[in-house]
């Protein structure tokens, strides 16, 4: 269990939509921080289990969960899922009161963030795109990094509440900026993990004690979060935790599509995306992203 210390702020009526591996602990932190939380999940049993653990309430639709909420948080799978819970039948936007704020933690396209922000504005509500980095462990520990786009006033209102599950939350620009920043994050990670995979594989074939090698080079210019946190488990061949290959491929696909529109050249990202496709073909869909090393034998 997390030992997170929560900032003492006034309790808010909030909703959380989507109780997957990220949303469940994120919503739990909101409840532990003293907020009144109503949850929604496509599978009602998950919502019922969450209420049994944390208290609060569950609702049958996103609109019902959002009714009366000052801030509605969400973390679902993709653009289509996001549209479904916001503007689809029984969607949250229809249930939100004027002046309420929708904070979306889904990793989605910048285009859908802009689309929903415009729709929200017409309804008199605010929309903040706020994808997260830190994976399931970050969600459990309340230590996510949140990259945001949208209205500054809405961000300022939502930020103290969201810090229940975050260690950093930054507004980076207008709607879509948070999603674009998350693409930058995933592009950087893809190259780092492939480089670390090649380095470890090379060292192992050379007969080096790679645990000792990583301890040494981790004190120099090669150091990274991936090396510190995934290097040791890559050496051990452990890939049953963290951020799944399927999710990374979704995220890289979003980044590559955006690059086709803005003209950015992403040759390494495109190559690593195909390496992840190889892992999927080998049945590694749910392996952690550090499993890239498995391709190297």
Active centre residues (catalytic): 182
Bridge partners of residue 132, in order along the sequence: 146
Give me the DSSP letters along 105-149.
Answer: -S---HHHHHHHHHHHHHTT-EEEE--EESHHHHHHHT-EEEEEB
The region, left, alpha or beta by phi > 0 then psi within -120 to 50, assigned to residue 271 is alpha
DSSP state of 206: T
Q: What is the largest CA-CA distance in the chain?
A: 64
| Pairing assessment for the beta strands 166-171 and 13-17 based on DSSP bridges | unpaired
Q: Which SS3 state, helix, strand or coil, does residue 96 take?
A: coil
Burial of 2: CB neighbours in 10 Å, binned 0-12, 13-18, 19+: middle
Handedness of CA 74, 78, 81, 86 (dihedral sign): positive
Strands (E), the chain: 13-17, 36-40, 57-58, 71-74, 101-104, 126-129, 132-133, 144-148, 166-171
Strands (E), 193-259: none
Check: CB of residue 217 under 8 Å from CB of residue 183.
Answer: no
Distance of CA 29 to the CA centre of its chain: 15
Check: CB of residue 269 under 8 Å from CB of residue 256.
Answer: yes
């Amino acid at each position: 269990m997390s030992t997170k210390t929560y900032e003492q702020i006034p309790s808010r009526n909030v909703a959380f939509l989507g109780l997957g591996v990220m949303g469940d602990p994120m919503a739990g932190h909101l409840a532990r921080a003293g907020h009144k939380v109503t949850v929604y999940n496509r599978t009602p049993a998950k919502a019922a289990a969450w209420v049994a653990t944390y208290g609060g309430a569950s609702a049958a639709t996103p609109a019902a969960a959002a009714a009366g909420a000052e801030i509605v948080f969400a973390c679902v799978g993709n653009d289509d899922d996001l549209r479904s819970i916001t503007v689809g039948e029984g969607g949250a936007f229809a249930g939100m009161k004027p002046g309420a704020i929708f904070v979306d933690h889904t990793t989605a396209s910048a285009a859908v963030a802009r689309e929903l922000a415009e729709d929200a504005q017409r309804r008199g509500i605010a929309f903040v795109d706020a994808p997260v980095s830190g994976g399931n462990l970050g969600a459990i520990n309340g230590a996510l990094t949140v990259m945001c786009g949208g209205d500054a006033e809405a961000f300022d209102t939502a930020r103290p509440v969201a810090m229940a599950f975050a260690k950093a939350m930054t507004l980076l620009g207008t709607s879509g900026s948070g999603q674009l920043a998350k693409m930058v994050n995933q592009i950087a990670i893809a190259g780092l993990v492939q480089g670390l995979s090649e380095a470890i594989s090379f060292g192992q074939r050379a007969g080096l004690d790679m645990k000792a090698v990583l301890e040494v080079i981790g004190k120099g210019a090669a150091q990274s979060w991936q090396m510190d946190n995934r290097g040791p488990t890559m050496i051990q061949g452990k890939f049953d935790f963290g951020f799944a290959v399927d999710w990374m491929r979704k995220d890289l696909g979003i980044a590559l599509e955006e690059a086709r529109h803005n003209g950015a050249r992403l040759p390494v990202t495109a190559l690593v995306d195909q390496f992840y496709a190889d892992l999927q073909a080998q049945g590694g869909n749910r392996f952690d992203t550090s499993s890239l090393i498995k391709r190297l034998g």
